[in-house]
Structure formats: C-alpha cells, structure tokens
Amino acid sequence: MKKIRILILVLFAFFAIFSLITFEKYSTDTFKEKGEITSLLFNLKILDNELNYEVLKTSFFLYQNYDNIVNIEKRIEKNLKALEDKKECFKSRALKEEIEDLVKSFEKKFKYVEDFKLYNSSIKNSSLYLATLLNRLNTLNLNHTGYEKLVIKAISTIFLSKNSFDADFVEELKPVYKRLKLYRFKDKKLQKFHKILTVHINIFIKNFKRYKESLNAVLNSDTKEKIYSIEQRLNLIFNKELQKIGYLFKLIIAVYFIGLLSIIYFIVKLDRENKNLMQLQEKLKIQAITDDLTDLKNRKAYKKDVRGVKKPFFALVNIDGFKEYNNFYGIAMGDHILRQSAKILKKGVPAHYSAQFYRIGADEFGILIDEDIPINSYAFSQHIIEIFSKTPIKFKNIETPISVSIATSRKRPLLETADLAMKYIKRDKRNHYITYSDKLGLMQEIKENIKRSKILKNAILNDRVTIYYQPIVDNKTAKIVKYEALARVRHINGKIESIHPYLKIAKEIGLYEEITKKVLELSIAKTERVKKEIAINISMKDIENPDFLINLGKLIKKYPEAVKHLSFEILESETLKDYEAVKNFVSIIKAQGGKIGIDDFGSGYSNFAHIFHLDIDFIKIDGSLIENIDKDHISKVIVENIVKIAKDANITTIAEFVHSKEILEVVKEIGIDCSQGYYLGEPEPFI
Amino acid sequence: MKILTVVLIFFTYIFSKEPIEPIPLSLSYDRQKALLGKRLFFEKLLSKDKTISCASCHRLKNGGADKNSFSKGIGGREGKINAPTVLNAYFNFKQFWNGRADTLKDQASGPVHSKDEMGMTKEQILKRLNSHPQYRKLFKKVFKTDKIGYDQIMEALAEFEKALYTPNSKFDRFLRGEAKLSPLEKKGYMLFKKLGCITCHNGVNIGGNSFQKMGLVIPYDKLALADRYQVTKEPKDRYVYKVPSLRNVTLTPPYFHDGSAKTLQEAINRVSYHNLGFKLSKKEIEAIIAFLKTLTGKRPDILK
C-alpha cells in the first residue's frame, strides 16, 4: 500500500513535469512561429510599399537608378523564401496555398516591374531626348511658325501626359503627330531633326499606354490583399492555437489540483492511521495496567499511582476463605465472586474520595485515596465490611455470603504495611479490621525473621546444625529403651538452641528440606555407629516428597545396620491427606525392620480410625495433654482413653513432657508404656 | 510659348541624385572558397574533352570576356552568343543575356552542361573531381566534407566571381568626390545623361539592372539570338536583353549580344542609331568614349 502510494506520487510528479515541459514547448513554439511569420509578413508589406514607392519615383523622375528596385525585389524574394520555408510548419492547406499564391503574385508583380522598366526606359529616353530636341529648336532655321507651334504642342502634350498619366493627352497628340508627319524639309539639318522628332513622338504614342498599364499593374497588384488575407488566416489559426493553449493550461491546472487533493488525502489518511495507532497504543497501555477479570487497575498500576499520591490512605481488602470457595465451587465461581466483589467495593466507597481501585493479589483488592479530607479508617472499613455482609453473591442460583477483612495503612510502603497488618488479623479470625501502626510489632517480627534466616543459613553453611538425643525410658523397668533425635542450632558463641524457632523461616526461605536431609543423615549414621534405638521426626510433607524418600532409601543402603534400630515419628499427622503415600511409607519401613510412630497424638483433631489403620508401632501422646496431667482432670481422662484404645490395638504408648516425679507417677498409673522428659533426661549430644 | 516650354522642361527636369553608384571599395567574401572557385574557374577537367575551362571564354586578361564574337567550346564548336564579362557580374540583377539565371551559382551550371560549351553531366563532374585527391583535400578544407558535392562546386565558382569586382575606377572616385573628370570626360557624361543612355545604363553596374529592347527606335537589323523572348515567350520581348554593364567596357570588345560591334565607336554609333534614332557626331562619340574610359576599375585582388 505504501509502495503504491509512493509510486502514484512519483508518477504524478513525472506527469506534472512532463505536462509542464510540453506546455512550455508548445506555447513557446506557437508564439515563436507566430512572431517569425508575422515579422516576415510585416517585412513583405513594407517592402511591397517600398517597391511601389520606388517604381513611382522612377516613373516620376526622368531617370532613376534601377538598382534600388532590384535590391528591393531581392529582399522581397528573400522574405518570400523564408515564408515558404515556414509554411511547412502549418497544417492548414489553405494557408500553404495562399502563401504559394502570394509568391506567384509577387513573381507576376516583378514581371510587371520589368515591363515597367522596359517601357519606362523608352518613354524616358524619348521624353529626355525630346527635351534635348526642344533646346535645339532655336538653332534651327525655321521658316514655318506653324511647325514650331506644332512641335511645341506635341512636346508639351507629351510632358503633360507623362506627368498626368492621362491617356487623353495621347489622343490629343495623335492628330498633332499626323499633321507633323506631313512635313518634309529640304534643309538636311531640319529634316534630320524632324525625323528624330517624329520617331520619338511615335515611340511615345506607341508605348505610353503600355507604360501606364505596366505602372498600374505594379501599383495595383494584389500582393497587398494577399498578405492581408494570409494575416487574417494566420490570426484565425493562432486564435485556435491560443484556445488550445488555454485548454491545455486548464487541464494542467486540473491535474495539479487533483494532485494536490490526493496529497492532502494521503496526509489525512496517514494522520488518521497514526491516530488509530496511538489509540491502540493507549489501549495497550491501559490494558497493561488493567486487571482482565475485574477491570480494576492491576498491581503494576498501583505501583505507579502510589508514587504520585501526596497523602496516601490505603486499604487492603481480602476476601475471607476465598481458597475454599474456589476449591469448593470451582474457578468459575471464584472468578464471579472476584468480579462481583470489585463492583461491591466500588459501590462501597463514597465518590467524593476519588478513590482508585486495584486488584492486588488473587483475592486481595486495594483502595488508594489521596487523603485531603481526614478519613476515619475504622468507619471506612466497617462500612465496606457491612456492605459485603449485606450483599450475598449469587451464582447459578446459589447465594453465597461473602465476608472480607480490611487492613488500612498510611505508612509507606503502603502495600507492605497493610499486608503485615492483614496477616496480623488473619491470625485472629474474629477480627475483620485493622489499621496498621508501628505498635503492632509486626515490623519487629520481620526483623526477627531476617535475623533468624541469617543465623540458619550460616549454621547450615558451617555445619553447625547438630543432633541432641533425649532418652525415652521404659516405665516398668526404668531403663532407657530409645532416644529421640532432636536438631539443634549451635551459635557461633557455642550456645545451643532448638531448631524449632527456625523451622517456620526455613520453610519460607526453602531451607527446610536441607535441614531434614542433614538431620536424617546424622541420625542414621549415629544409629549405625551406636546400635541403639533412635527415633527420628519426619513430617507429612516429608513423606509426600519423593526426594526425601529417595534420599532415605540411599541412607538405608549406606547404613544397612541402622534401619533395625530406627523409629520414625510422624509429625503433623492431622494434615494427613495422601493416605496411600503414608501407608506405602509405613510398609516399606516396617519391611526393613524399622518402626513407625505418630508424634503429638491427641493434639487438634486426630482421625483415630485412619491412624490405627496404618499399622503403626507406637504413638507419642501430645505434650499439652501430659504437662498438666497431675492437675488437669480432663487431660487425664483423654489420655486414659487414648491409652486404652492403643492397648487394644497393640500399640505402644509414649508420654512426653514428663518434667516431674508427680507426672511420672500419673503416667505410670495410667499405664503408658514409656516416658520422656527433663525429669528423666535432657537431650544430650552424646549417647 | 518659349517660356511655357522652359517652364515645362524645368518642371519635369527634376533629377534625382546621380543615377550611377560607385562599386564598394571592398566586398566581403569567403577567401578560401573563392580561391577554390578560382582554381575551378581555370579547371579544364570540367569540360568533356578536358580542353575548356571557364577561363577559356571569360578571359580575365580580356576584361573577363572573349575576344571572339562567339566563343569556341569543346571540339571547336561555336557558341551562339557573345560571352559577357565575369567582372562585376555579381552586381547584375540577373545572369545571362536573357536573364534566365537569377544567381551566379545558377549561371555557373549553364556553360558546364551546354553541348557547345563544356558538355558535362553532373555525375561526370563529380566523378572527376572526387577522384582528384587535391580537390578532395581542398573541398574538405572549405566545406568540411569528404565527398565533393555539385552544389559546392557551383558555390565555390560563384564565390570567386563575387570576388571579381573592380572598384576605384576614375569615375567612381569622381562620384565619391576624390577625382575630377577632364572637360571631355565630363562632357561625355553629360551627353550620356542628356541623350538618354542613362535611362537604361544606370546603377552600380551602369546597366545590368533591367531588360531593354535592342532597336527600340529603329529595329535591329540582325537575327535575335537567345533573347528575353526565349524565357517569357511574350512577343514584346523579342530583341529584349539584359542591359550589359559598361564597367571596364573598353577592355571587352567585341560588343553586343552577338559580338557584332568590333569597336567601342561602332557600338556607340549603332546603339544610338537603333535606340535613339540617330547617329552621334564624331565629337559626341569621342566625348562619350572618354567618359566610358573612366569606368575601368582596379584589377580584382583575387587575381593578383
């Protein structure tokens, strides 16, 4: 398209230049021709007049230089020749014929001029000589006065007729001539005079008419009319040419106009395309900062906008339990909830705040306001929470009540502080609103986390994660039957600390698996060496992790003697999901000669049926049930029942957190098989 | 009555300025071309039997004319008319006695083709000259062509003839006020005008600018040869010829179209008889001859 456009423009330019050149050439040629031919005709007119004038002058004077006539004729011939050369430039046949006619006319005229010269010479010769004779009249011996009168009459008549060009005088001369001819003289001189006189009078009479005719023929020749006629025809032709030039000029103007229009058209079109392009760009820009699902601005837009706000007020709105909706009803429902929530949110914030709405995360929205008017963040949040509670979301005839939690903040970085505050209230499910303040200590927690992650990383890097072993004692024999392997972090100053405070951060920064691996290796190697019963803690997560299983397999192969002495205490059994995976693990370990137990049994909601189906060897009753068992009646009842069931299922029971003699007594009384706790033995690095 | 005639005569005797003009002192022409024309003028190759050149008849030592009444052409054939002089021919309004050629270039072609004169065709001339290395060289120099053209030959000849002008005669100097005529010469000139000679013999060439009848008053007594009638076929043109120039007239006997007047005296006598109707006295002729002698000009530069 672009190429065609350029091509059209280039063609147009060429055409325009070509037509201009043609126009210029055509008009120049036309005017040049006209100029030349007009000047030729003008010359001819003047020369024709000059010729007439010269002929007249010649006729007037007694003698005249014929060269003048000849020269004029030559000049006329030259002009005629040029004119004849020019006639080929014209298409008009009539014009050519007229020019040829003019040439013929001039040829004829020149012939008349020759005739004139011929007769003029004879007439002048005679009149000249007659004048000479008149002078001689006195010298003659004249006795006849009548003769003298006749001579004078004849000569004067000749001069009269010559000067008047009137043939009537010649008629008058004829009888005089007749009478003169009758004279004969004896005087020889007189007779000679008489003879010459009569001969010349006779010549005059004979030639005068032709002389007059030839002069008239010259003066009345049609050359003038012919030149005029050619001029007329030329004018006609040139008028036509002029008209043509006029048309051509108009055509060129039209072509230029069209050219101009098309250029304007192209420019306008280009402009429009540019506009479209710019609109598209704008759209893309908007798209880039818009959330597709809710049509709110996205997180990117928030980051940009927040910089421009002088006095920001930010509210982070989280849909409570959104994951459950998604899981329970499907993604379509989840999307619907998000869309509706966005709408409710917009409705819930009064327009005078000029609030900006963002979708910050999966189930989190942000409201950004430049706080010109002080906002009561509690009332603000409460209003929104109420609107949500009053507006259940309907999807496929299912009405779902929605509740939201709101964390507001005025402290930059707004999103981060609001998020921290949000986490704070999420711990306590009864509370749906919080506004961030430094007093929340959340920032402190983050600092602590950062510090711990540093310590942990250092410890792993420098092999300062170590294992302590706490003895487990048989309640009947009071002998140590087993040790529980417990991971410890040794600080640079040698201080030993439990790994528990670090586990959460380890999970967050992805060090958990490494720690597990370390603990596993150290513990198994120790078991192989000391050939004593040792229990290792593993979590449900570990069992579900194939890498963990592969690693465990390798260690068992590496330390073949250890497995008979090993026990695995499964932590967090309440989160058990993949039942089959655990079953598999249990059967593998048991096939190798190892034992399986459940840690913290009785905490939270434990699915007894599930667990007892797993063919486990022991359970470790949760420490929270044991630590006050000597005083807490309910705990004691619960434990008694657990023990009863375990005994029925032939499962060994272990009590932890046995920190006093009293507790040990109760534990023994209930019939728990083994005990563990500070009263019986603290964790030690060596066994 | 006498008074009347005097008045009449006075009335009509209005003379214009002198009806004879001097030959220009210099005439511009292409010298190279003219020199080539000169060579061609003397070139016998231009005649069939290679015996005749232009110069054979237009003898430049004889005033550019022939001593014979009729010139001898190839094979000794005799022409039918007297060869006119080439001197000052440029100033003639037409060429040939009967004016059948308008220009010298047209004229030059005539004798070359004439059976009685040189008897050549165009092709023969071109063949001869083109096979002549020197001419090829000369033509190339003048006309910048490798092949000699017929037109170029004629052009060169015409250019040479243009150069054959004879300025600065005594009479011309008189006309320019540089010299005085002797009383006899003066008388001759006055007679020349008074008797009416001037009506035909006028202009630069003192003739050569009109056709006139031989035997205007008393018919000519010999046959008409190649007269104007041959061109116009009009009866009035019988015995009509181009008036011959009187320049260098003393150098170019014999006179008349038929070369029948052997001397100037005879020519004046006969022309006055036929064209004025009477014979002049000896004294008058003497005076006129004295005048005519003043018309002999300077030999053309190109002949030096």
Q: Return the HEC string of B32-71.
A: HHHHHHHHHHCCHHHCCCCCCCHHHHCEHHHCCECCCCCC
State which amino acid sits at residue A495: K
The answer to whether residues A476 and A434 belong to one domain is: no
Task: Count Cα atoms within 13 angstroms, Cβ side, for A312.
Answer: 24
Residue A235 φ/ψ region, left for φ over 0, alpha for ψ in the -120 to 50 degree band, beta for the rest: alpha
Nearest by Cα to A111 from A220, A219, A206, A214: A214
> What's the confidence (pLDDT) of residue A312?
92
The predicted-structure confidence for A231-280, as pLDDT tens digits, reads as follows 999 888 888 888 988 888 898 888 888 888 988 998 899 899 999 999 99
User: Which chain A positions have a beta carbon within 8 Å of B213's beta carbon?
Assistant: 118, 122
* pLDDT band at B3; cut points 50, 70, 90: low
d(CA B250, nearest CA chain A) in Å: 22
Nearest CA in chain A to B91: A67
Q: How far apart, in whole angstroms, are the C-alpha atoms of residue A434 and residue A424?
A: 8
Q: Is A567 helix (H, G, I), strand (E, B) or coil?
A: strand
Q: Which domain holds residue A521?
A: 451-675
Q: Are A159 and B12 in contact (CB under 8 A)?
A: yes
Interface contact A118, partner B, CB < 8 A: yes
- Flag whether pLDDT at A527 surpasses 80: yes
CB contact under 8 A, B203 and A118: no
Cis, bond preceding A413 (omega within 30 deg of 0): yes
CB contact under 8 A, A155 and B5: yes
Interface contact A134, partner B, CB < 8 A: yes
Residue B208 φ/ψ region, left for φ over 0, alpha for ψ in the -120 to 50 degree band, beta for the rest: left
Q: Are A114 and B210 in contact (CB under 8 A)?
A: yes
The answer to whether residues A303 and A359 belong to one domain is: yes
Q: Are B272 and B217 in contact (CB under 8 A)?
A: no
Q: Tokens representing A302?
A: 């928030």
Interface-testing mutation among A77, A129, A137, A199, with chain B (most B C-beta atoms within 10 A): A129
The predicted-structure confidence for A153-176, as pLDDT tens digits, reads as follows 998 898 888 888 888 888 999 999
> What's the confidence (pLDDT) of residue A87?
81
> What's the confidence (pLDDT) of residue A574?
63
User: Which chain A positions have a beta carbon within 8 Å of B278's beta carbon?
Assistant: 192, 195-196
CB contact under 8 A, B9 and A57: no
d(CA A118, nearest CA chain B) in Å: 5
CB contact under 8 A, A159 and B212: no
Q: Are B74 and B117 in contact (CB under 8 A)?
A: yes
The answer to whether residues A665 and A530 belong to one domain is: yes
Classify residue A455: in a domain, yes or no.
yes
Classify residue A560: in a domain, yes or no.
yes
Classify residue A239: in a domain, yes or no.
no
Classify residue A319: in a domain, yes or no.
yes
| Between A188 and A48, residue with greater pLDDT | A48
CB contact under 8 A, B9 and A159: yes
The answer to whether residues A555 and A409 belong to one domain is: no
CB contact under 8 A, B1 and A152: yes
The shortest CB-CB distance from B14 to any of A61, A66, A129 is to A61
The answer to whether residues A638 and A557 belong to one domain is: yes
User: Which chain A positions have a beta carbon within 8 Å of B211's beta carbon?
Assistant: 114, 117-118
Is B178 a catalytic site residue?
no
> What's the confidence (pLDDT) of residue B62?
86
Interface-testing mutation among B12, B216, B237, B274, with chain A (most A C-beta atoms within 10 A): B12
The answer to whether residues A54 and A129 belong to one domain is: yes
Beta strand pairing call for B211-213 and A566-571: unpaired
Average pLDDT over residues B194-218: 92
Classify residue A189: in a domain, yes or no.
yes
Q: Are A76 and A41 in contact (CB under 8 A)?
A: no
Least confident of A213-227, A307-321, A505-519, B118-132: A505-519
CA-CA-CA-CA torsion sign (B132, B137, B139, B140): positive
The answer to whether residues A418 and A515 belong to one domain is: no
Q: Tokens representing B191?
A: 């007679």
Interface contact B281, partner A, CB < 8 A: no
CB contact under 8 A, A64 and B16: yes
Beta strand pairing call for A480-490 and A465-474: antiparallel
The predicted-structure confidence for A288-319, as pLDDT tens digits, reads as follows 888 888 889 999 889 888 888 889 999 999 99
Q: Is A297 helix (H, G, I), strand (E, B) or coil?
A: strand
Classify residue A182: in a domain, yes or no.
yes
Q: How far apart, in whole angstroms, are the C-alpha atoms of residue B129 and residue A7?
A: 62
CATH number at residue A201: 1.20.58
Exposed / middle / buried, residue A264 (Cβ in 10 Å: 0-12, 13-18, 19+) = exposed
The predicted-structure confidence for A477-490, as pLDDT tens digits, reads as follows 999 999 999 999 99
The shortest CB-CB distance from A199 to any of B21, B213, B277 is to B277
- Flag whether pLDDT at A475 surpasses 90: yes
Beta strand pairing call for A404-409 and A465-474: unpaired
Average pLDDT over residues A412-433: 80
Using CA atoms in the order B230, B235, B236, B238, what is the torsion angle rounded to 10 degrees?
A: 50
CB contact under 8 A, B19 and A196: no
Interface contact A126, partner B, CB < 8 A: yes
In chain B the domains, ranked by start, together with CATH numbers, are 13-22+167-302 (1.10.760.10), 31-163 (1.10.760.10)
The shortest CB-CB distance from A118 to any of B1, B212, B277 is to B212
Average pLDDT over residues A136-144: 76
The answer to whether residues A542 and A620 belong to one domain is: yes
Classify residue A242: in a domain, yes or no.
no
- Flag whether pLDDT at A609 surpasses 80: no
* pLDDT band at B13; cut points 50, 70, 90: very low
CATH number at residue A471: 3.20.20.450
Interface contact B103, partner A, CB < 8 A: no
> What's the confidence (pLDDT) of residue A606?
63
CB contact under 8 A, A129 and B193: no
Q: Tokens 């059994």 sit at which residue?
A: A573
d(CA B191, nearest CA chain A) in Å: 10
Between A500-508 and A512-530, two packed helices, what is the crossing angle to 10 degrees? 130
Interface-testing mutation among A70, A209, A211, with chain B (most B C-beta atoms within 10 A): A70
The answer to whether residues A433 and A461 belong to one domain is: no
User: Which chain A positions have a beta carbon within 8 Å of B196's beta carbon?
Assistant: 63, 124-126, 128-129
The answer to whether residues A546 and A412 belong to one domain is: no
CATH number at residue A407: 3.30.70.270
Q: How far apart, in whole angstroms, are the C-alpha atoms of residue A497 and residue A452?
A: 12
Q: Which one from B43, B78, B117, B178 is the annotated catalytic residue? A: B117
> What's the confidence (pLDDT) of residue A451?
83
Q: How far is CA A479 from the centre of its chain?
A: 85
- Domain's final residue, options A407, A440, A473: A440
Q: How many domains does chain A have?
A: 3
Q: How far apart, in whole angstroms, are the C-alpha atoms of residue A421 and residue A443?
A: 10
CA-CA-CA-CA torsion sign (A259, A262, A266, A271): positive
CB contact under 8 A, A203 and B217: yes
pLDDT, mean over chain B? 90
d(CA A237, nearest CA chain B) in Å: 34
Interface contact A105, partner B, CB < 8 A: no
> What's the confidence (pLDDT) of residue B12?
47
Percent of chain B residues topping a pLDDT of 90: 73
Q: How far apart, in whole angstroms, are the C-alpha atoms of residue A346 and residue A295?
A: 11
Classify residue A241: in a domain, yes or no.
no
The answer to whether residues A506 and A422 belong to one domain is: no
Q: Is B243 helix (H, G, I), strand (E, B) or coil?
A: coil
DSSP assignment letter at A290: B
Interface contact A58, partner B, CB < 8 A: no
**Which ipTM value was assigned to this complex?**
0.86
The answer to whether residues A59 and A193 belong to one domain is: yes
Average pLDDT over residues B107-111: 89
